Structure 1
Amino acid sequence: MTNIKSLRGRDFITLMDYTTDEIKYLLGLSRDLKSRYYQGERYSDVLRGKTLLMIFEKPSTRTRVSLDVAATQLGMHVIYSNPQELQLGRGETIADTARVVDRFVDAIAARVYKHESLIEMAKYAVVPVINALSDREHPLQVLADALTLWEVKGRLDGIKLAFVGDGDNNVAHSLMIIGAKLGWEVRIISPKKYWPSKFAELLTEDSRRTGANIVISDNIEDVRGVDAVYTDVWVSMGMEAEAEERKKVFRPYQVNAEVMKKAGPQAVFMHCLPAHRGEEVTDDVIDGPQSVVWDQAENRLHTAKAVLISLLA
């Protein structure tokens, strides 16, 4: 395996900080680790003796379990906590917490309400800080998404992906970022009120370099001809007060059989999960033959391993 030494010791907060070659390296390593996994090589000593601290402000299934299993299978010790179990819950600052735990552990994975909390943590911790989800981005998720598309489409280049629903959510943002880095066409199809703020212009340089195309639209017809139709929940964690309004606004953007028919038989269906069945997606789509959501979920394990190895090995 080719080793990109520049990854060692880095934070993994946003893919905007990573080059196209570095992202392709992480994906290649993920694919290699998955192959080894199915050949029976599930456990390794490569990170034995190291410790991962996970701090989760929000509930989690895929991110928490995949990181925990990935770290354990690589020989790491894992500590899971929420702010109420730490002095963070009693008013200790993020900076002071980061300064302390930095002297104990080898990496910190944090799932936070505010992206700025990750920035603050990384400012005061020398060890790598991994974004396990913030309100702005979810880089671990889209790394697994890219691996899934590589597997089912046989390529990373020239992918056309339509994200349907809340265009200003963390997964939509991260899909735009990885799309710009890999030269994809990413179509954000969303009510105008929920179009992604600022991200398109932030990605102009990467898009120009790779030939990527970021399209923002409110027309569901723009799913036609894509390789993948992607959606996420309409009401993200922390937005429960807006639930009824959001359900009304997003109803025309439900991914159902009609939408998948517009996209075409070549299109796979993707969802980061958990899904609110009957809202953003119907049962016949998520459980149907075009769905790759369970492959996406599994690939969270293999890409988590790749990130941990690259930052710590």
Structure 2
Amino acid sequence: MRHLISLADLGPRDLARLVARAARIGREGVREKTLADRSVGIYFSKSSTRTRTSFWGAASRLGAHTITYGPDDLQLSTGETPEDTARVLGQYLDALVVRTNGPADEMRRLAAGGGPAVVNALSIEEHPTQAIADLTTLTEEFGSLEGRHLLCVGEGNSSGSALALAAALTPGLRLTLLCPAGYEVPKDVLETADRLGAGNAEVTQITDPADVPGPVDAVYTSRWQTMGVPKADPDWLTAFEGFRVDQGFIDRVAAPHTVFLHDLPAVRGQEVTDDVLDGARSRAWRQSHHKMTAAMAVLERAVLERAAPGDA
């Protein structure tokens, strides 16, 4: 079984295969119940609409049995170690999908416990399966990602970090991160991206909207209050002035073929306006569908493929 805690655990070929499989499912649907009679646990300690439901839908459509856990349903909440929990769950489950607003440390301890394959469905550092869905949406739109330029606007959150790693693993894909000063993608993530790209990663970060090199092929934004968590600075919105994706922003950076992406949920009127989110350029709703096709690809890899010795 193969865990997926971070995209940094993958190689370029691994990521390309996941994206290609997700795109194929999106194009052809499910032809075979590849996970028939397998069991998938879905453990979410925080609220979720799309990610939780997409993993449930993915497992169910592939033929797996599912069980869902809330934040107080596992004995982790009473002090059992992640390693002991994993050792037990491994006797019942083939994969465990985990979401938290905190760091991925608990996921890695679960993965080290000799239990089911562990899939990161969001941590404070990274949202790896979202990035797979994002690349799948762009692949469906453009065919090849080589030579394409993606602009990611707003807070340097878990989605932005995942995109930085995904772009580094995708030869020829250029990513510009446009983040307000003080809300950038962390430096260590950019260093990891550079390492993954063997010095050839086309990932850059800027803090001034006037510096956007255009035109770009896709504009991506996400909710500024990551996972709904309030920010420490009560005046934080002032730092985001000029970062809202409205029609004027699109006109400045877009070509005729440029599309718009949003990982949802959206705070309409804040990071994006209605005319952009609901407009002809928007692929946000198809992107939401690909959360499920990406989940299918990840679950198949987790359950059906054997990990090499020492593989993450």
- Give 1:238 shift: 6.0
Q: 1:105 to 1:229 in 2, by over 3 A?
A: same
Of residues 115, 119, 122, the one that matches 1:130 is 119
- Give 1:131 shift: 0.5
Under a length normalisation based on structure 2, what TM-score does the superposition of the two structures give?
Answer: 0.91
Of residues 192, 198, 223, the one that matches 1:202 is 192
Of residues 249, 274, 284, the one that matches 2:275 is 284
SS at structure 2 position matched to 1:234: coil
Distance 1:117 1:268 in 2: 37
Deviations 1:160-201 (A, max 9, x none): 11111112x100000000100003211111122112221111
- Give 1:223 shift: 5.4
More helix by share: 1
- Give 1:15 shift: 1.1
Amino acid at match of 1:66: S
Distance 1:104 1:247 in 2: 46
Contact 2:98 2:121 in 1 (8 A): yes
Residue matched to 1:214: 203
- List aligned pairs for 1:194-273, cutoff 5 A: 194-197=183-186, 198-208=188-198, 211-221=200-210, 222=212, 224-237=214-227, 239-242=229-232, 244-264=234-254, 265-273=256-264
Residue matched to 1:6: none
Of residues 108, 115, 134, the one that matches 2:96 is 108
Distance 2:85 2:253 in 1: 48
- Percent identity over the alignment is 33
Amino acid at match of 2:93: V
Residue matched to 1:5: none
Distance 2:271 2:225 in 1: 10
Q: 1:286 to 1:124 in 2, by over 3 A?
A: same
Whether 2:133 is the aligned partner of 1:144: answer yes
Residue matched to 1:3: none
Q: 1:65 to 1:89 in 2, by over 3 A?
A: same
Distance 1:73 1:153 in 2: 27
Distance 1:266 1:31 in 2: 20
Q: 1:125 to 1:278 in 2, by over 3 A?
A: farther
Farther off after superposition, 91-100 or 24-33:
91-100
Residue matched to 2:310: none
- Deviation >4 Å, runs of 4+: none
Query: Aligned-residue CA RMSD in angstroms?
Result: 1.7
Q: Tell which has more relative contact order, 1 or 2 (C-alpha 8 A, sep 6+).
A: 2
SS at structure 2 position matched to 1:252: coil
SS at structure 1 position matched to 2:59: helix
Contact 2:219 2:260 in 1 (8 A): yes
Distance 1:277 1:108 in 2: 33
Q: 1:289 to 1:162 in 2, by over 3 A?
A: same
How many residues of Structure 1 are paired with residues of Structure 2 in the alignment? 299
Amino acid at match of 1:139: P
- Give 1:241 shift: 4.6
SS at structure 1 position matched to 2:72: helix
SS at structure 2 position matched to 1:84: coil
| Alignment gaps of 5+ in structure 1 | 1-8
Under a length normalisation based on structure 1, what TM-score does the superposition of the two structures give?
Answer: 0.91
- List aligned pairs for 1:39-50, cutoff 5 A: 42=30, 44-50=32-38
- Give 1:312 shift: 1.5
Distance 1:154 1:196 in 2: 28
Of residues 6, 22, 36, the one that matches 1:30 is 22
Contact 2:88 2:115 in 1 (8 A): no
